[in-house]
Structure 1
Amino acid sequence: MVGENKITQTNYEVIVSQLKSELSTDCAISNKYGIILASNIDTFAKGKVIPQKILDLISKRNSIAEELKLKKINSFALESEEYNYLFTFSEELILISKLNLSVDLSKFMPNIRVFAQKLSQKEQMSAVNVFSEFDFSKDISKIETSLKEEKINKEKYSIIKDLIKYISNS
């Protein structure tokens, strides 16, 4: 509907803090391009970008799944000396979880996967729909004025052109 403004925006900071309190884990939420939207993980601070090598791996997940004869890859984990980093992805978002090594990934992953899917669905449904009426009358009047000025200038210069032609032919 023209003229209707419908803007809804997800507050990722609140979601990250809820995940911290409910799951006792640090998390970061990124868009599909790797830009961190909210985070309480220092390595993946808000506004930073997920390292390119990790983004490449995420973007190649479908071809990796084909290679391994899998339907789909929903997440992958990186184990470091101190933590596990779990990357869970949907079409629109990437959820990064920083977990202690003692956390059982087989119990944690299904919960976080469902959460990421629901968050992605919410994101898709709350897409920004902004429509506004545009007043073309000002632009049209500017164009008309410009055309009139151009026509007047063209007529002025045509007399000079005719005079130059007459003089050069003489």
Structure 2
Amino acid sequence: MLFIIDMQNQLLDLTYDSYNTSIYQLIPKIKQRLEKARSSNEPVIFTKDIPIQYKDSKQAEHSAFQLLTQLKPLADELVVTKHSYSMSPENLLLIKDKFNHKAERIELVGVETNQCILANTITLQSTFPTSKIIVDTSLISGRKNALSALELLAGFKVDVKH
């Protein structure tokens, strides 16, 4: 299973705190990984982070919160909206019900290593305790405390690839 974490338009918008210059190099790498997953029929799940204050409002539909067009989900790929760092228990149960039979290997790619990658990795590890969890450092980006987060994940027996 491939989880693409929070690859949204706001990452390319200078007016947002989440703007990150490393995204320009990350997008083609994640796109290549996404194409590999699709060609091997690996389940792909996208997360989209909508701040809690915009939940159930018109602002949640703002273009900044939409997924990057370069990584557009296909109709059969799951998009999970989250309102905090990690997916909700309800979404995790949905994913488990739908993909438990394909969960022997779970890879996370995307942004904010010290927050969203970290939080989603831990919750996925709890949801799928027998799965091999992988974080490839060439397919993630973080602005603060990224190395500390990777060390923490390694301590949780996550396969952190350098």
TM-score over 0.5 for the alignment? no
- Identify the structure with bigger relative contact order (alpha carbons < 8 Å, sequence gap 6+): 2
Larger helix fraction of residues: 1
Q: Normalization by structure 2: what TM-score?
A: 0.31
Q: Normalization by structure 1: what TM-score?
A: 0.30
